Structure 1
Amino acid sequence: MRGTERFSLNQATVRQWSLPDLVAGCAAAGVRHVGLWREPVREYGPAAVARLVRAAGLSVSSLCRGGFLTAPDPAGRAAALADNRAAIEEAAAVGTDTLVLVCGGLPPGSRDLAGARERVADALAALVPHAAGCGVRLAVEPLHPVFAADRCVVSTLGQALALAERFPAEWVGIVVDTYHLWWDDTVAEGLARAGEGGRIAAFQLADWVTPLPEGVLLGRGQLGDGSVDLRWFRERVEAAGYTGPTEAEIFSPALWARDGAQVLAETLERYRAHVL
C-alpha cells in the first residue's frame, strides 16, 4: 500500500457494496479512508456507521451530499435549510468534518443563473453558524456545465471560490473534482488561489470518457480510461497545500455490475499508475 496512504474509496464507486462490505473491503485492502453518502448512512444509522468505521481503523473523508439551495420560494428555502442542517449533523455523527454541497440547479422556468447563485450564498450564510457549531466544513463543489440547469449553477472553480470566500475558510471550502474541472483552462490559477486561501476541503478523482452516456451523470470513467491528466491535478492540489484524503468517486454502472473487491483492486492499481 506504499504511496496510497491518502487514497479514499468513495462509496459511489462500489455502490453494490453495503456499508459493512465497504468497510470490510477497504480494511482488507489496506485502504484507510472512505467517503460516504447520506442515503445508506441514514439507512444504517449515523451512530452505527461511526462505530463500524472506527472499529475497522478507518476514517470518513467526507459525506455527500448537502446542497440544492436554489429554491426561490420561502417554503422551498426552509425545507432545503432544514435538510442541510440535518446533513451537517449526520456528517458530525459519522466522524467527518467535510460535507460536500451540490448547490442545485435552476428552478423550473428560470434562466437567472446569477440570482440562483446569490440564493446559494444566502443559504450558506444561514448554514455556517450551525456548521461551525457542529465542527463541520461546508464544501462547495463546482459541477461540469452540463449540470448547470438541473443540478448545480456553480460550474467553475472561480464561481465556487467567489461563494466560499464570503465566509471564514475553516467553515466554507471547495471541492476539487477532476471529472468536473478538467476542461477549464483557468483551473491552475483557481487552484493556486484556493490554496492561498486554505479553501480546498476535498479532492475527488474520476476520468472523462467519450462517448458520453445518455444523461451524463453515470458516465464517469475509471482512472486512466479518459481525457483527464489526473497526475497533473494531484500535483497542483498538493502544491496548493492540500494534504487530506484523495477520493476515487466514480459513478459507473459498469463498475457496479462487477465484484466490489475487484473494482477496488483495479482502482488502487490505476491510482498508482495514473495519479501518484
Structure 2
Amino acid sequence: MSEAPSIERLSLNQITTESWNLEEAVQGCVRQEVPWISVWRHKIHEIGLKQSRKLIQDAGLQVSSVCRGGMFPAESASERKEKIEDNRRAIEEAAELGTDVLVLVCGPPSSRDIDSARKWVEEGIEELVPFAEKHGVKLGIEPLHPMYAADRSVISTLGQANTISENVNTSQVGVVVDVFHVWWDPELYKEIQRAGRNILGFHVSDWVVPMPDMFKGRGMMGDGIIELRRMRKAVEEAGYHGPIEVEIINQAIWDQPGDETLKQMKASYLEHV
C-alpha cells in the first residue's frame, strides 16, 4: 500500500461541517491546521462574496473548489437559460474566491425523458465554456451514484462524465472523482485512466453498511467498505496531485462539534486515504 497523502493536500469540503457558517469553518480550518477549503454557494450568499473572499484570504487558506454549478435540465428554453445564468454567477464566484474549479452537479430529469435531460446537460456545459475560460475557471463534472439520478443528477458514471468532457473537447472541462459516488463501478479504474489529467478534483468519505440515510449517509473514512487508498493511488497515477476534499453528508457528524469533526477527518485521512 502506498503511504499516506501529505496533510498539505487536505481540504475541508464545507458541507462536512454544515452547521458552521463560512467564518466558523474558516476559523476551524485555521485552528486545526487544515490548509484548504471547498466553499458551498449557500454559505457564500449568507455573508456576501466580498466578505467571503476577505475571510478566506485573511486566514491564509486556499480554495480547492466552489460547489456547486450544474442543474441544467428543464423543459423550457427560458428555464434552461435561467440555469445557464446561475452557472455564470457561480463561475464568477469561483474566480473571485481564487479557485479554478467549479463542481457541477448536473441535475435531475425534468420529466420521464432522461435522454433529453442528458442532452441538455452536455449542451449547458458547452455553452458555459467561453465564459468559464474568460474567468479562468474549469468545469468539473461530478457523476453521482445512480440512486440520485431522479433527484440530483442524470450523470451517474465516470464514463458518462468522461464522454461529455471528450465531446466538449476543451481543457476547461474535466471530471471530479468522488469515492462515494463511483466506488461500485466495475469500469472505475479504466475510466480513471481514461480521464487522466482531466481529473479536476478528488473527494473522499466512506460507504457504511447499513447506510443510515440515502442522502445523509456518508461515513468518515475507514468506517465503510471503499478501497480509499487504492482509488487515491489510481487518480495520482492518472495525473491528479491536487487537493483532496473530505466531503461527508451525515446528520450525526453535523450534530457534533465542528472541531471534533476536523480532528477526526485529519486522523482518518492520514490512516485510510
Q: TM-score, normalised by structure 1?
A: 0.95
Deviation, 1:225, is: 0.7
RMSD, matched Cα: 1.4
Indicate the larger mover: 166-175 or 95-104: 166-175
Q: What is the match of residue 161 of structure 1?
A: 162
Deviation, 1:210, is: 2.3
Cα distance in 1, alignment partners of residues 169 and 120 from structure 2: 18
Unaligned 5+ runs, structure 1: none
Aligned counterpart for 2:230 among listed residues 232, 257, 267: 232
Contact 1:36 1:62 in 2 (8 A): yes
Deviation, 1:168, is: 4.0
Instruction: Answer yes or no: is 1:64 the counterpart of 2:67.
Output: yes
- The 3-state SS of whatever aligns with 2:193 is helix
Contact 1:169 1:199 in 2 (8 A): no
Identity of aligned residues (%): 45
Cα distance in 2, alignment partners of residues 20 and 189 from structure 1: 40
Instruction: Answer yes or no: is 1:213 the counterpart of 2:212.
Output: yes
Deviation, 1:72, is: 2.7
Q: What is the match of residue 199 of structure 1?
A: 198
> What's the CA shift string for 1:2-29, capped at 9, x where partnerless?
9311010110001122211111111121
Contact 1:103 1:120 in 2 (8 A): yes
Q: What is the match of residue 176 of structure 2?
A: 175
Q: What is the match of residue 239 of structure 2?
A: 241
Q: What is the match of residue 253 of structure 1?
A: 251
Indicate the larger mover: 34-43 or 15-24: 15-24
> What's the CA shift string for 1:160-209, capped at 9, x where partnerless?
011111234421010100000000011100000111xx210111011111
Aligned counterpart for 2:50 among listed residues 35, 47, 52: 47
Q: What is the match of residue 184 of structure 1?
A: 185
Q: How does 1:22-37 map to 2 (within 5 A)?
A: 22-37=25-40
Deviation, 1:113, is: 2.5
Q: What is the match of residue 274 of structure 1?
A: 272
Cα distance in 2, alignment partners of residues 35 and 234 from structure 1: 18
The one-letter amino acid of 1:175's match is V
Cα distance in 1, alignment partners of residues 152 and 54 from structure 2: 33
Instruction: Answer yes or no: is 1:129 the counterpart of 2:148.
Output: no
Q: How does 1:64-103 map to 2 (within 5 A)?
A: 64-103=67-106
Cα distance in 1, alignment partners of residues 21 and 127 from structure 2: 34
Cα distance in 1, alignment partners of residues 150 and 254 from structure 2: 27
Unaligned 5+ runs, structure 2: none
Instruction: Answer yes or no: is 1:11 the counterpart of 2:14.
Output: yes
Q: What is the match of residue 261 of structure 2?
A: 263
- The 3-state SS of whatever aligns with 1:119 is helix
> What's the CA shift string for 1:188-246, capped at 9, x where partnerless?
00000111xx21011101111122334x1111111111111111111001111101100
Cα distance in 2, alignment partners of residues 4 and 213 from structure 1: 29
- The 3-state SS of whatever aligns with 1:166 is helix
Contact 1:164 1:172 in 2 (8 A): yes
Contact 1:72 1:119 in 2 (8 A): no
The one-letter amino acid of 2:228's match is L
Contact 2:5 2:270 in 1 (8 A): no
> What's the CA shift string for 1:80-118, capped at 9, x where partnerless?
11111111111111111110011111113x1x3222111
The one-letter amino acid of 2:186's match is D
Contact 2:206 2:223 in 1 (8 A): yes
